[in-house]
Each structure stands twice: as structure tokens, then as C-alpha cells.
Chain A
Amino acid sequence: MIKKKRLLLTAMIVAMTAVTACSNNSGTNNNTEAGTNSGGNGNQAATTTEQSKVQEKVTFSVFNAAGAAKDINSNETTIGKLLEEQTGVNFKMEHLVGDINTKIGTMIASNDYPDLLIPDAAIDKVIDAGAFIPLNDLIDKFGPNIKRVYGPYMNQMKAADGNIYFIPFSNVVGEYIPSPSIDQGAFWVQRRVLKEAGYPKIKTLDEYFDMVKNYVEKHKDENLTGFISLTHDWRFFATSNPPMHLAGFPNDGNVTIDMSTFDAKVYADKDSTKKWLQKLNDVNAQGLFDKSSFVDNYDQYLAKLTSGKVVGFFDYGWQVGNATNALKDAGNDDLRYFPLPVTFDANTKDQYLDPPGFTSNRGIGITVSAKDPERIMQFLDNLLTDENQILSNWGIKGETYEVDENGRFYRTEEQIAKIDESFRETFGFKYFEWNWPKYGNGSSLPDGNSVAPGRQAEVFQMSLTEGDKTILEKYGAKTYADLFAAPDDRPWFPAWSFSKEQGSDAQIWETKKDELTKKYFPKLVLAKPEEFESMWTEYLDQFSKLDTAAYEKWTTDEVKKRIELAQTK
């Protein structure tokens, strides 16, 4: 009986705590609601006082799904602090950790967004969910600089309903300055290979692989890998894009676009892809290809590149930056990689370099949760003055850059040494040089200086190591870009940036095509050489089930639309 009573007592206690816990919860809920309400009122107050020219300090939130960096308040950085002094706006910056679709999907499902959102690849989803507010009126009222910078592209920025929902990152302002280093696609090879071969001019894919083969065979005891390829997850394009480049086209994604008819053609089932895969198959049969390419993840891939055991690979410069920078810091010039503009045959003009383009499916937008869109728009517009573009790219005169007697910007050696990764964080370059409305890659200021320090000849020369200078000299080039052909004008570029509606036929085609290539490319490359043909037929058979003609037609229409817009501007 005593036991029973004790049991009852415990039961009562449990029940009581549960009840009190519940009431506590509702209490806090009320509190937070009241909190946000008063916050909202506070902001309204802010806008009214603003009219009386008193800029009250506010903090907005921004979520960046495009870049990985520490979460921070923008006014904790030097640049952000200066911008706060100008506008009174501070941003609580958050960055993506984990899977972008999960994160953005959660925001959509809960209908709870940060004030500003940079949704990167998930932008179609966000627009589809109606999470961005139309910006047309705000730009009219508060965006003189936005109008100036994006002027020719204002029509392209409009969605089908005529509203502008987000501001793409960049449009080239002023004279176009090409990048001196290769941040786009190239076939890379270790410098020691070129050195040993006597710095030959490598033009074709055959020459490239012959050179790799020779080197690996001569150095049998070093346990070298001839060629690896990145295949992990969405980065698979590093393995599926080369046919396009080898045939002399820039990165238009899934299609190549004929320069006279402007017809878009999918190349994944064409001869160019077959030739590329057959070459890899061949290379694999010779034991030069790293089979784990098809199971390694991105980190393992970078680790292999950094190990110095890999002779060659194809990839985009921006994607292997972590590895190439580490190799540069390590200081062994022989193990660093050198970019080569390789094509199928020597007569094809390479088009690895990006033409000036307008990426219209990435950008920054103000969400429906934003408390004060006007202030935010003013902040964004304020970023696009010449002064602030200098601030966010070059920094502060005398501190992070100098000006010579001709008005040219440059950096001293100490300044270059000072600006390392942690400095870029505290100063704020890391947070402001990209992902915000800005003058596009290759823009220049009215006085002829490059907006991006990396493209200023003075800075580039300064950043070259002795090894860099030697190898460039051997090839008679001043910059890496000199080795590549100049890009032709392509007003639609890049075709991969044409925005697609959620669940549209074009989007489903892309998903299915990705799945198919991810499944068959490994089989084709690792097959026994005599089985390649039959495997290719099987692949084509599967590929023919996709409605490729419709996808091509859709892309062609989009391309022509953009050409027309470019002509009318």
C-alpha cells in the first residue's frame, strides 16, 4: 500500500510538471510575439524618423547560401563598419552549412525568411514560393546606381510577370578587362612534366595524354596517377563538360550554341562526348586513370591534387582553388599545375575563357519577411557607387592599396603579404567582394583602373612567383590568359544561367540527364576497350528516351530572346 501511494505521488508530480511546462511554454510564446511586435513598431519608427534625416541604426539579417564563411555581424568587419557609418545598416550574416535544398526548403516550408536572401542554386524555388517581393518600385525610388549599373539588362532581370524579384550580382561596368589567371576551365598538368618535356606547345587532347603517359612511364617508381576527374554530386559537370570545351566552346552548360545559326545542341549524346569518353577509356586501359575518381568525394579529390601524385586533370580554376593555393603556399614549383587550352584537333580555336556575361539566375533578393525593404534597397544601391566598389574590392588607400603618380592602383609587397585569408575575413573583403550587387568581373573604373585587384596588371605581376615568371616566359606569355584564345562575343552567355521554373520540363530533363550520365559515364570509362562500343549503344538507347529536342528548342528560344534584347539595348 505504501508503494502504491508513492507511485501515485510520483505520478502527480509528473503530471504537475507537465502542466506547468505547458503553461510556461505558452508564456514564452506570448513574450516572443510581443517582442517581435514591438520590434516591428520600432522599425516603423525608424523609417518615420529617417524622413527627418536621422539615420537610426538598424540590424537586418541576410542568409548567404552561396559562400562558406564564418557567421558574423557586418559591422564587425572594417568594410561593414564603414558602410554602417554611411547607411546605419548592419547585417547579421549567416552562411550555408550543409545541404542548400534542405535549408532553403525549410525556410519555404515555415514561410520564415531572413530580410535578405542569397539563395544561390535554389533561387527558382524561392521565387516559385513567392518569397521575394517585387523590386520595381523600390529600384525606381531608391536605386539610381542600380539603374546605372544594370541599365542594359533591366529587361532581362524581369520575370515573366514583369516584376524584378532579385538583383543579379554583376554586370560589367566600363572597359572589359579579362582575367589574367585561369579561374575557368582548362586541362591542367604538373609543371615538372612540361619542364621535362622541354616546354612543348600542347594543343590537342592526344598530345596532352601522350605527354602525361610519357612522364608516368618514365617515373614508374614514384607511384604516380596519370589523370583524375571530379565526379562528386553536383560537381559532376567537371567530368561531363570537357567535350564542349574540347570542341571549342565556352561553358554553356548542357549545350553548345552554333555561332552562325544560334541553335542550341545537346552534346552529351554526340560524337564529341563519345570521343572524350573513349579517350578516358583508353587512358584507363593504360592504367593512367584513377578509378576512384568515380567514388571519391570533393574533399578526397582535393586531397589527391594537393598530394602532388596526380599528373593531370581537367577542372575549373575556381573549383580547385583550395588545392592550387595550398600547392603555391607549399612552394614546390614542380608540383604546381599549369593550365593548357586543349582541343580535339589543332585547328579548333579554343574558347575556354568566359566572354563577358550576365548571369541572370543568381542574385540577391528582399524577402516577404523583410521589415524595412526601403532601407535595404538604399543599402544595396549605396554599394554600387564607384567609391564603395573601390572600398569593397581594393580596401582603404594607404592600408590595403596605393596609388602611383599616374593614378594607377597597386599594392605593395607587404600589403599583398598582409592580405591573407584571416585578414580578408576581419577586413571584410571575404564578405563583400562577391554575392552582393557589384560591378561585374572585368569591370573598370572611369580612370581605367580595374575594379578587381586580381585583374590589375600591376597586382598580377606582383603576385607571380619566380617559378611563375619562368614558365610564362618559356611560353612567351605575360599572363596565363595569354595562352588562351580571346573569347568571342556571346550576348546570351552563359546558357546554363537561363532560369527554369520549378518542375518544368527543362528542369526534369536536366535531372534525368544528370542521372543517366552519372550512371553510364563510369561504366563507359571503366569498360574493357572492346566493350566500349556496345556500352555506348546502350547509353544512346537510354538517352533517346529523354525529350532532348524539346530541351534544345527551349534553350534556342532563350538564346534568341537574349540576342534580340542585346541588339535593342
Chain B
Amino acid sequence: MAKEASPGIQTTTPKPQTSHIPLFFKKLVQQRVLLLMSAPFLIWLFIFKYLPLWGWTIAFQDFKPAKSFSDQKWVGFEHFKMLFQDEKFIQVLRNTLAMSTINLVLGFVTAIVLALLLNELRFVLFKRLVQTVSYLPHFISWVVAANIIATALSPDNGIVNELLMWLGVIKEPILFLGIPEYFWGINGLSEVWKNVGWNTIVYLAAMTMIDPAQYEAAEIDGAGRIQRIWHITLPGIKPVIIVLLIMNIGYLLESGFEPQYLLGNGMNVDYSENLDIFVLKYGIAMGNFSLSVAAGMFKTVISFILLFAANYTAKRMGESRLF
């Protein structure tokens, strides 16, 4: 499409531009259909993504839901102070970043490896089967998934403990969810189990875009399977990997809420409590909406910085990027 369209536009553009303004209007008229087409989405974007920003004012008030805007008490940066000065904040931030980094790295590596393996499969029926089985957990709600995980890890008759005992690795059942240091790992592995299949989809799609001629050429040149993966498949999906990576880095402060909330307990709270749970406990559960908004703003600002930093780095390295 793009190939066809661009020469068309080029031919209709008038010769050397005399001034910028008339050209702008000329283009405006020429591309009016395209503009009209995007208008509904711009309106949608404005209503749902920009208007709610007005709500940020709540962070600077002692917000009481039933009062009108003019009756609210303004407190400046009081809630931000409370947030940053709370001794748990650093711990909560550490847990958030640690868990999302683990999720990011594990998620990427496992999804790419699984996609590469699936791509190499020639027996279609088996490929379909593996795909379906690995997608399935993605559609289970976290409440159910958390119960499955908790049961599997349980010290009484949990399958993991039984297996390890049978193999002779451990002598006594381990209370996995009761050991705080294990939590990040459990959380990371649960995420992988749940989402690995789903995450492969986009890579598999990217792989189908690679020109088969390249593989043929490589084969004639005597490249083996591993070499083909390394020199053709991986470079072929590199742009996709990088764009996804940039986008995910923007979400680094979103380490998820449900698994930590559902698998967390008093014993592992030092490692399981993340920013979202902290906000729930001290903000929403106590009716302190202002604190929740302050935390939300903090997250947005950090995500913004991370996203731009990642994009800039990609640009510097001469890679494809988001914008």
C-alpha cells in the first residue's frame, strides 16, 4: 500500500515550495479524507485520555467525593510528601521494579525462544497443539490461576513439594509462599506460565513476514538450522523486538496487581507488596483518593521518562524505534 501511495502523492505535490503556509493548506485540502478519517479517533483520544487529566487536581486537594470542586480543601504537595516520606515507599518501589524487570526479561526470553522453536516445527498438527496448550493459561483469570499456583506450591500434598521430595531434592516440604525471598521468582515463573504462549503470537507473525528466499539462499550457502535462526530469523524480527521492548519499558512501574495481591500474604509482604497494592491499602481502602492520584501521577511521570529514555537509546544505536 505504502509503496503505491507515496509516488502518487509525490506527483501531485507542486514543484519547489514557495512558502510553507499555502503548501500546508494545499496538503490539508488534498488529504482531507485522511484527516476526516482520523478525526473520530482524535476526539476519542481527547475525551478518554486528556479530559481525565483534569482529575489530577485531586492529588493537590484533601479530596472529599461528595463536595463540589470549589469546596475542596487545597493542600499543595502534602500527599506527595506523605507518599515519598513513608518508610515503606522505597521497599514498595524496589519490589515493583524488581518484579517487573524479572517479568520483562523472563517474558521476552521465553517468548522469543518458544516462538523460534515453534517456527522450526514442520509437523503442523503438533505445532498447533503446542500453541493452543501454551495460550490456554492466558485466558484463565488470575483468581483461578493464583489458586492453582497456591495449591501446587502447598506443603501438604502440593505437586511441587511432592515431586521434589520424590526426587530426593528436599527432605521436608517447603512453605514456598511463606519464604519472602522466593516471591519474586514465583511471581516471575507464574507470569511466564500464564503468558508465554500469548506473547509468542506477535513474534510468530513477524517471522512469517521474512522472505523465504533468504532461507533458501542460506541453505544453498550451507547454513545449518542454528545458523539460519541466528542470522536470518532473529535479525528479521529484531525491529519487532525493539519496539515491544521500548513499549514495555514504559510500563516498568506496572508490575501487575492481581498475582501479587492474590499470592501475597503476611509472611511475604516485604517482597510481594508493590506500588499498586500500597495505593490500594493506604489510598483507596482508607478513602484517601488524593494519595491514590498522587501515586498515579508519580507512575505516569516515571513511565514517561523511561519511555523517552528507551526510545532515545534505540535512536542513538541506529535501531528502529517507536517515534
Contact = CB atoms under 8 A, between A and B. Distances in A.
B64 A129 contact: yes
A295 B265 contact: yes
Given A129-B65, A522-B267, A526-B178, A511 B281 contact: yes
Contacts of A7: 1
A300 B288 CA distance: 32
Among A292, A300, A515, A518, max chain B CB count under 10 A is at A292
A97 interface: no
Interface stretch (B34-42, B243-251, B299-307): B34-42
Nearest to A290: B156
B286 A18 contact: no
Contacts of A300: 150
Contacts of A102: 284
A128 B64 contact: yes
Given A4-B5, A19-B40, A522 B33 contact: no
Contacts of B37: 11-12, 14-15
Contacts, number: 99
B286 A108 contact: no
A160 interface: no
B287 interface: yes
B286 A3 contact: no
Contact of A8 (B4, B33, B40): B33
A295 B64 contact: no
B66 A518 contact: no
Contact of A111 (B66, B150, B154, B265): B66
A41 interface: no
B269 interface: yes
A203 interface: no
A53 B292 CA distance: 51
Interface in A265-308: 290-292, 294-295, 297, 300
A180 interface: no
Contact of B266 (A3, A19, A105, A294): A294
Contact of B66 (A130, A295, A297, A526): A130
A101 interface: yes
A262 interface: no
Contact of A12 (B5, B33, B64, B156): B33
A408 interface: no
A111 B178 contact: no
Nearest to A225: B156
Interface in B174-230: 175, 177-178
B287 A518 contact: no
A476 B150 CA distance: 45
B266 A518 contact: yes
B266 A507 contact: no
Contact of B150 (A129, A295, A368, A502): A295
A521 B155 CA distance: 19
Interface in A1-55: 3-4, 7-8, 11-12, 14-15, 18-19, 22
Contacts of B150: 295, 297, 300
Interface residues of B, number: 34
A199 B285 CA distance: 47
Given A111-B65, A502-B286, A292 B8 contact: no
Given A11-B33, A12-B33, A292-B156, A503 B5 contact: no
Contacts of B5: 4
Interface residues of A, number: 46
A507 B285 CA distance: 11
B135 interface: no
A111 B65 CA distance: 7
B289 interface: yes
B78 interface: no
A469 interface: no
A291 B266 contact: no
A237 interface: no
B270 interface: yes
A292 B175 contact: yes
Nearest to B288: A503
A125 B287 contact: yes
Interface in A115-151: 124-125, 128-131
Contacts of A519: 266-267, 269-270
Given A14-B37, A108-B66, A507 B267 contact: no
Identify which of B5, B267, B287, B289 gathers the most chain A CB atoms within 10 Å of its CB: B287
Given A292-B156, A503-B288, A129 B267 contact: no
B155 A292 contact: yes
Contacts of A101: 284-285
Given A129-B65, A291-B178, A526-B178, A105 B284 contact: yes
A98 to B, nearest CB: 10
Contacts of A507: 286
A294 B66 contact: no
A79 to B, nearest CB: 34
Contact of A128 (B155, B265, B287): B287
B178 A295 contact: yes
Contacts of B286: 502-503, 507-508, 511
Interface in B255-295: 265-267, 269-270, 281-282, 284-289
A22 B41 CA distance: 12
B144 to A, nearest CB: 13
Contacts of B270: 519
B279 to A, nearest CB: 12
B190 to A, nearest CB: 15
Interface of A: 3-4, 7-8, 11-12, 14-15, 18-19, 22, 101-102, 105, 108-109, 111, 124-125, 128-131, 231-232, 236, 290-292, 294-295, 297, 300, 368, 502-503, 507-508, 511, 515, 518-519, 521-523, 526
15 contacts: A4-B4, A11-B34, A105-B284, A109-B65, A125-B287, A130-B67, A236-B266, A291-B155, A294-B178, A294-B265, A294-B267, A295-B267, A511-B282, A511-B286, A518-B269
Given A4-B4, A11-B33, A12-B37, 20 more contacts: A11-B37, A12-B33, A14-B40, A108-B287, A109-B289, A125-B287, A129-B64, A231-B265, A291-B178, A292-B156, A294-B175, A294-B266, A295-B267, A507-B286, A518-B269, A519-B266, A519-B269, A519-B270, A522-B178, A522-B267
